[in-house]
C-alpha cells in the first residue's frame, strides 16, 4: 500500500469533501472535523462554521464513539488548533 498522507503538526490529515479526519486511525482516538458552512470571499469558499468531534476508534457503537464535541463559528485553522490540543491530551493519558 505505502500511501502517504499530508501531515499537520505531526498527525495525518485526510479530507473528503466537507469532512476531515485528523490523526492515526490505529490510535485510540481520532478527530473528525465537519465543515458546516462556508462564505464566498472574492470567489473563494472560506470555512465559517465547523463541528469538531473526538472519536474513540476502539468503540464499535457509533452512538458511543463521540467523546467530545464542539460547534464553532470558526475557520479551518481554529478547528485544526482545537483538534491538535484534544488529540494530544487524549493520547497522553
Query: Using one digit for the tens of pLDDT, what is the confidence trace for 32-64?
Result: 999 999 999 999 999 999 999 999 999 999 889
Instruction: Supply the pLDDT for residue 62.
Output: 86
If pLDDT is split at 50, 70 and 90, which confidence band does 2 have? low
Q: 3-state class of 52 per DSSP? A: strand
Instruction: Supply the pLDDT for residue 4.
Output: 79
Q: Residue-wise over 74-92: b if at least 16 C-beta within 10 A, else e?
A: bbbeebbebbbebbeebee
pTM of this structure: 0.89
Those residues with Cβ within 8 angstroms of residue 20's Cβ, 6 or more apart along the chain or in another chain: 13, 14, 32, 33, 35, 76, 79
Instruction: Supply the pLDDT for residue 15.
Output: 93
Cell (9 digits) for 69 = 464535541
**Domain residue ranges in the chain:** 6-92
Amino acid at each position: 500500500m505505502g500511501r502517504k498522507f499530508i501531515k499537520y503538526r505531526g498527525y495525518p490529515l485526510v479530507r473528503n469533501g466537507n469532512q476531515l479526519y485528523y490523526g492515526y486511525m490505529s490510535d485510540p482516538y481520532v478527530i473528525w472535523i465537519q465543515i458546516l458552512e462556508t462564505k464566498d470571499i472574492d470567489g473563494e469558499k472560506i470555512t465559517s462554521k465547523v463541528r469538531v468531534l473526538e472519536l474513540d476508534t476502539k468503540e464499535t457503537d457509533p452512538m458511543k464513539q463521540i467523546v467530545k464535541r464542539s460547534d464553532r463559528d470558526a475557520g479551518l485553522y481554529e478547528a485544526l488548533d482545537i483538534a491538535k490540543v484534544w488529540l494530544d491530551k487524549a493520547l497522553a493519558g
